[in-house]
Structure 1
Amino acid sequence: MKQTISMHEPRTLLRPAALFLGGIVVLTASSWVAVPMVPVPVTMQTLAVLLVGVLAGPRFGFAMIVFWLGLAALGAPVLSEGKAGIAAFVGPTAGYLLAFPVVGYLAGLGVKTVMTGHVSRFAGFLALHGLILLAGWAWLATIIGAREAFAAGVAPFLIGALIKSGLGAAIMAAFDRVK
C-alpha cells in the first residue's frame, strides 16, 4: 500500500525538505570549487549533478537540479565564479547547464537499472559526463565554431570527467558499504 504525505503531518515533510535543501547546498558548493579557465571553468558540478541524481532518485534529483538552476536564473550566485542570471543560460556554459537536469535524471534512473555494480557505475558516470560535454560542445560550437569548441570546451575536461567518474563510483561504493 502506497503511503501519502498529509499536510497535517509536518514531520513527514521535514525530511524531504531537508534533503532538497541539502542537494541545493551540495550543487552550489560544487560550483564554487572551480579552476578558472576560458571559456568554461573546471568545477565539481558534474560530479554533484550525478550524485544528486543517484542519491535522490531520478525525479527528486531532477527537481533539485531544476530548482538550483532556477535560483541561478533568478540571480542567486549559485553557479561557478558566482555567475547568476539569464546570461549564464545564453553564454558559453549554457549547454552544460541545460544538460544537468537530464543527466541527473538519467543517473538516478541508471543506478536503479543498469548501473548496479562498481564497473557499471563508473562506465555510466563516464557516459553521462560525455553527454554533458556533448551538450556543452554543441552549444559552444554555435558561439565559437566546432573545432574551437572541442579544443576549449571538451578536450580540457576529458581527464576531469574520467577522475570524477571514478570518484563518483568510489563514493557510491562507500554508500553501498554503509547500507
Structure 2
Amino acid sequence: MTRETTLSQALMPTSSLLKTLALVAAGSGLVALGAQVDVPMFPVPMSLQTLAISAIGLTYGSRLAGLTMLAYLAEGAMGLPVFAGGGAGLAHLFGPTAGYLFGFMAMAWLTGLMVERGFSQGIVKLSVAALIPATLLFVPGALWLWAVTPLSLSGAFAAGVLPFLVGGVVKSVLAAVAVTGGWSLLRRRG
C-alpha cells in the first residue's frame, strides 16, 4: 500500500535530523500549551491537549507523531511542567490519568497512519482520521482509571469517557479544519 504525503512532508520535502528535531520540539510544545488551556464546555471543561495531538497526527504522519508524543512524555517525566495544569514528574505516568498519557502515543501514531493510508486530505476524511483514534484513546484511559482507583468499570466510563465525548468530536473536527486550511494555503502558494 502506498503512503500518502503528509502536510509536513509537503511543506518540507527534504528531511534532516535538524528538521525532525525542530518538528518534534514544536509538536511537543504545542501539546504542552494545549494541556494548559481549559475551554468551558458542558459537562466539564476541556483542555486543548487532544486537539493538538490530533493536529500533529494529521500533519506529521505516524512515526513523527508517535515520536513527538514520546518526547512529550519524556519531558513531563523529567519534570518539565507540560502535563495538564502544569503537572510534571514520574508520578503522573502512574497516576489516574496515566492511561490517557500513554494512550496519546497510540492516538498520534494511529491518526498519522490513517493519514498515510488515504485520509490525508478533505475535511471528512481528516475528521475521521482524527475522531477514530481520539475515541480509542478512551480505552486505555478508562481501563487505567478503573485499575488504579476505587471506581467500578462503569464508574470509570462515567467519569473518564462520557463527559469528554462531545469535546472529542468537536476537537477532531477543529483539527481537520486546521489541517485542511494548511493544505489550502499550500496549494495557493504553489
Whole-Å Cα distance in 1 between the matches of residues 177 and 82 of structure 2? 26
Q: RCO greater where, 1 or 2, for CA within 8 Å and sep 6 or more? A: 2
Alignment of 1:82-93 (within 5 A): 82-93=86-97
Q: List alignment gaps of at least 5 residues for structure 1.
A: 1-11
Alignment of 1:111-130 (within 5 A): 111-116=115-120, 117-130=122-135
Whole-Å Cα distance in 2 between the matches of residues 57 and 120 of structure 1? 14
Whole-Å Cα distance in 1 between the matches of residues 66 and 32 of structure 2? 15
Query: Normalized against structure 1, the TM-score is what?
Result: 0.84
Q: List alignment gaps of at least 5 residues for structure 2.
A: 1-15
1:62 to 2:69 alignment: no
The ranges of structure 1 where at least 4 consecutive aligned residues each deviate by more than 4 angstroms after the TM superposition are none
Contact 2:96 2:144 in 1 (8 A): yes
Could you tell me which amino acid in structure 1 is paired with residue 84 of structure 2? Answer: S
1:160 to 2:164 alignment: no
Sequence identity, in percent?
36
Equivalent residue pairs, number: 166
1:149 to 2:153 alignment: no
Contact 2:126 2:176 in 1 (8 A): yes
Cα shift at 1:104: 0.7
Query: In 2 relative to 1, CA 99–41 (structure 1 residues): closer, same or farther, beyond 3 Å?
Result: farther
Whole-Å Cα distance in 2 between the matches of residues 34 and 91 of structure 1? 20
1:133 counterpart (134, 138, 142): 138
Whole-Å Cα distance in 2 between the matches of residues 124 and 24 of structure 1? 20
